[in-house]
């Protein structure tokens, strides 16, 4: 896939979550509610959440934002604050995030 100069400005965020034992279904339900709301944000180019089939306590996020400002705006949305920060994060044993750029 060839990238354009605009694509090179995109910010890619990956996140790995490990939820507390017994919280798999609750977190999956929260993420199913959250995902379509995040995908509709104007600065979101791609947003996918995956659950590990062999280890259902593990979730992987792949997110592409128009840029750093779009990512900052994403973190200020009501759905991020309410669902992710307010409900999901307290159910996690581990959370790792990384940021990337297309080359």
Alpha carbon distance 55, 4 (integer Å): 37
Q: What is the pTM of this model?
A: 0.90
Answer whether residue 1 shows pLDDT above 50: no
Q: b or e along 29-65 (b: 16 or more beta carbons within 10 Å of the residue's beta carbon)?
A: ebbeebbebbeebebbbebebebeeeeebbbebebbb
DSSP character for 63? Answer: E
pLDDT per residue as tens digits for the range 13-39: 999 999 999 999 999 999 999 999 999
* pLDDT value of residue 47: 98
């Amino acid at each position: 896939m060839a990238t354009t100069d605009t694509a090179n400005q995109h910010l890619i965020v990956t996140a790995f979550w490990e939820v507390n034992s017994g919280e798999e279904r609750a977190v999956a339900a929260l993420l199913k509610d959250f995902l379509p709301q995040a995908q509709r944000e104007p600065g979101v180019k791609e947003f996918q959440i995956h659950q590990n089939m062999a280890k259902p306590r593990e979730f992987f996020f792949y997110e592409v934002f128009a840029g750093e400002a779009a990512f900052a705006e994403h973190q200020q949305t009501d759905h991020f604050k309410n669902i992710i920060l307010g409900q999901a994060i307290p159910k996690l044993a581990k959370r790792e995030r990384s940021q990337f750029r297309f080359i």
